[in-house]
């Protein structure tokens, strides 16, 4: 059974650029959520995807968008990067059938630095 994998692990961008982060969910998990973890903070919910549709969204602007693919993998896209977007981005999967169970399986994250 493979766990949640994320890529890239680290990346550096400049303000105004766009970034795409990728996530493969744990085997058998069809629900994927993305979280932003700023330095010294807990993870903040960005959005959840189930059956390739957004299934709930946190307090993030529209320039944060996502996709889920038929194999349940997912992408997080951030446009017009700002300095405050610098953070660890965590992907989490769960076998929740689109429900929030809270029992999340996290990847190791993608650390984004915006200069």
Partner 1 sequence: AQSVTQLDSQVPVFEEAPVELRCNYSSSVSVYLFWYVQYPNQGLQLLLKYLSGSTLVKGINGFEAEFNKSQTSFHLRKPSVHISDTAEYFCAVSPRDDKIIFGKGTRLHILP
Q: Smaller CB distance to partner 1: residue 14 or 41?
A: 41
Q: Smaller CB distance to partner 1: residue 15 or 51?
A: 51
Rounded to whole angstroms, how far apart are CA atoms 93 and 2?
Answer: 12
Applying CB under 8 A, the residues found at the interface with partner 1 are 4, 33, 40-45, 48, 56, 58, 90, 92, 99-109
Q: Smaller CB distance to partner 1: residue 5 or 65?
A: 5
Q: Give the tokens for residue 40.
A: 């010294």
Rounded to whole angstroms, how far apart are CA atoms 90 and 25?
Answer: 12
Rounded to whole angstroms, how far apart are CA atoms 22 and 58?
Answer: 19
Smallest distance from partner 1 to CB 22, Å? 15
């Amino acid at each position: 059974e493979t766990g949640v994998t994320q890529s890239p692990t680290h990346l550096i961008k400049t303000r105004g650029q766009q970034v795409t982060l990728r996530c493969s969910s744990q085997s058998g998990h069809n629900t994927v959520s993305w979280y932003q973890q700023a330095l010294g903070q807990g993870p903040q919910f960005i959005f959840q995807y189930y059956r390739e549709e957004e299934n709930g969204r946190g307090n993030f602007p529209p320039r944060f968008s996502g996709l889920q693919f038929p194999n349940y993998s997912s992408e997080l896209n951030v446009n017009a990067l700002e300095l405050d977007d610098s953070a660890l981005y965590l992907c989490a999967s769960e076998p929740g059938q689109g429900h929030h169970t809270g029992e999340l399986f996290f990847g190791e994250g993608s650390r984004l630095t915006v200069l």
